Amino acid sequence: MTTKKMSAAMNTPNLGLRSAEIGSPGARPRTLSHALAIWVAAITVLAMTVLAAPVQAASKKAAAEPITQVYFIRGFMGVFSTGFDKMAKDLEKSRIHAEVYSHLSASAITAKIVREFGQSKKRRKKLVLIGHSFGGNAALSVASQLRQKDIRVDLVITVDPTRSGPVSPNVRKYVNYYFPGNGLGAKLAAKSVPAKRITNIDMRKRSDIAGEGDDHWTITNNAAITKEITTAIKRALR
């Protein structure tokens, strides 16, 4: 019985199978079970072809996801660094993808940067880390961990971090805003990098900051600080 007749007998469409598609040259279905096996194999191949398309599309979509260039890291409990959320939204308007994290997320941030760097090594984008208080400590830690993966950080901005380091040679520039003598903020120490890479800004000497009544807890909402940080980020990413 031919494939065409067998398809009709089984009330299934003729798939137009040729001998080259089902075995050695000259092969023909010999029994009902043989023909059924051929039909199932053809349907399986067809299904695999159809199902492969969405997978490929999904892969392309995943590859097109924006790479995070700016990481804001909040301070203790995340309740005193709300100005970072506004800065992140402002940067998104300039098509700069920014995300806000907890100071407890240092390891997750490092892993994400390493993963994205691996996916985009040929078209590497610049990277900026910003942290407040404990989040400043976390930003310093993340930058140091990235050194082990040979990943450069273009800018690290710390706002009243409670530690003076670590500072790392894979960071092109550090900018540190701090309140001296408040028992919390610390000045960054240039131990393993040239001093010219570190800019420490004493906020007590800034009337547009200290004069506004801002302190360690409210500083990320200060208008002058917000403007300076967003401007520095955009400059570093050019």
Domain coordinates in residue numbering, the chain: 3-63, 70-236
User: Rounded CA gap, 209 and 199, in Å?
Assistant: 17
Lowest mean pLDDT among 4-18, 126-140, 202-216: 4-18
Residues 157-196: pLDDT tens digits? 999 999 999 999 999 999 999 999 888 899 999 888 999 9
**Residue 147, Cβ neighbours under 10 Å: how many?**
16
Q: Name the E strands within the chain.
A: 70-73, 98-101, 128-132, 155-159, 174-178, 198-202
**Residue 224, Cβ neighbours under 10 Å: how many?**
16
pLDDT at 194: 92
Query: What's the CATH code, domain 70-236?
Result: 3.40.50.1820
Residues 4-60: pLDDT tens digits? 444 444 444 443 434 334 444 444 555 555 555 555 555 544 444 433 434 343 344
